[in-house]
Amino acid sequence: MEGYKDMTFCPFLECTDVDCPRRLTNKVRQRARVWWGGDGAPICQFVDQPDCYQEELNTKDGKAILNHLTNICKGKYNG
């Protein structure tokens, strides 16, 4: 199957790596539309978060991760 730029793009825009070349931004969608000549351009996308996904530490899960790492640094973690 043919896909835009022959690569897989990442639809998980909440990732904190804003410079990632795989981000499926509106700009990428617009360029794919031009390349395809209209709507419906084939754009391959990750279904699950890729291993490179970076969690924002300003979320509930991110704060839990940050607290856990802080406790490790303070020697409070025994697991």
Q: Are 68 and 77 in contact (CB under 8 A)?
A: yes
Residue 32, pLDDT > 70, answer: yes
Q: What is the pLDDT of residue 78?
A: 58
Indicate the pTM of the whole model: 0.69
Tens of pLDDT, residue by residue over 43-64, are 999 999 999 998 776 666 666 7
Across 4-11, average pLDDT = 97
pLDDT value at 79 more than 60: no
CB-based burial label for 55 (10 Å; 0-12, 13-18, 19+): middle
Question: What is the number of alpha carbons within 13 Å of residue 70 lying toward its C-beta?
Answer: 7
What's the first-to-final CA gap in the chain, in angstroms?
47
Q: Residue 1: pLDDT above 60?
A: yes
**57: which residues sit within 8 A by CB, 6+ positions away?**
63, 65, 66
